[in-house]
Chains A and B, each alone.
Chain A
């Protein structure tokens, strides 16, 4: 799990071009949107593409998106359960 979390941190930094942010700066439990990393709706689209491209996972129920993308931890859990 920790390996997956570290991998996700690196992928998110690269995909979202988060300048000046290192993987160790991100707390896996912090919210990705709003107060945490401060991501927005365009980032959400980027993350959906990342999930599909890198892990072959599609989110069929959009209502679950908020829960899945809450934090790196929740995202990693979703990947582990569904891959």
Chain B
């Protein structure tokens, strides 16, 4: 791929925090109790006409609003492409449709839930709302869904196929998937405050949801939040040294060393086994680097890495690290490079390097 600078010119995030509020940046973090962090939703009527909103499930409304705000933020009316990441798609409508199949003995099924239940409904609805007839892709690759949508966006821009790409990552909590996750032992059963996930020594995580949207472009706008310097993946590292070697190699591609990183954001989710990798890296490779975590704010879901990119971009623009995400006490200097590391079960690792505009 060609080396083209790619900027985040606009973004918006709906999450279990007041992330749409531009007047403050996680100064007042919202505390949730239990293993489920639901989004703080905007007044949809302010953004979507009622006759359109009536057929939209929560995830569709969240995406519509986040997309609108991010485009406005970037000063873009119509993007050249839409790239959506979602682990589970429009699950609420899928559940509704499946339930109606059972309840009605496979007869008299209503069309709306069926039509809206597919993974690519989000991208389709956005295309209709924005009048975009160009590339419209949806990536559903479990915990790497967002990174793959991001990769495709970067490739589109580098290959000069698009100048403004609307990229989004979204997932929603639904009653049945929550029960299934509990039964699979993926969630903490006696979770207290979301702020205590790192001190809670039980297994499992806390479930979250959200919709984070970005407008990416090779043209730097006045609204620019940060430059996407690199995105890379790691698959089943043989050991910690192998993982560290990969990170060092990625940084060296950009003439950077560990000491050049202003902040490392890691995907701690409160599960002891999952977090062991982050703890070890934090104590070795990043021992002298300011470190942060974020899933206590948004919960864990397949596209939560989109929240981490929103968080990093906002930190970069504001040159300020919110206290609520600090993992260590290492003093903060000018913020030039933020490294985001996410992983699931030590199988799939993703690394995003965001630099100052």
Contacts and interface: CB of A to CB of B under 8 A. Distances in A.
B54 A19 contact: yes
Contacts of A53: 104, 108
Interface in A26-83: 38, 42, 45-46, 49, 52-53
Contact of A49 (B45, B51, B109): B109
Interface size grouping (class) on chain B: 10 to 19
Interface stretch (B110-118, B167-175, B213-221, B233-241): B110-118
Interface in A1-21: 15-20
A17 B112 CA distance: 11
B50 interface: yes
Interface residues of A, number: 13
A16 B50 CA distance: 12
B181 interface: no
B53 interface: yes
A18 B54 CA distance: 6
Contacts, number: 27
B249 interface: no
A49 B108 contact: yes
B55 interface: yes
Centre residue among B108, B109, B115 by max chain A CB count within 10 A: B108
Given A49-B108, A52-B108, A53-B108, A42 B54 contact: no
Given A17-B55, A53-B104, A42 B50 contact: no
Contacts of B104: 53
Contacts of B45: 20
B90 to A, nearest CB: 15
A52 B45 CA distance: 33
A51 B334 CA distance: 66
A16 to B, nearest CB: 7
Contacts of B55: 17, 42
B110 A49 contact: yes
Interface of B: 45, 50-51, 53-55, 104, 108-112, 115
15 contacts: A15-B110, A16-B54, A17-B55, A18-B54, A19-B53, A19-B54, A20-B45, A38-B51, A42-B111, A45-B110, A45-B111, A46-B111, A49-B110, A52-B108, A53-B108
Interface of A: 15-20, 38, 42, 45-46, 49, 52-53
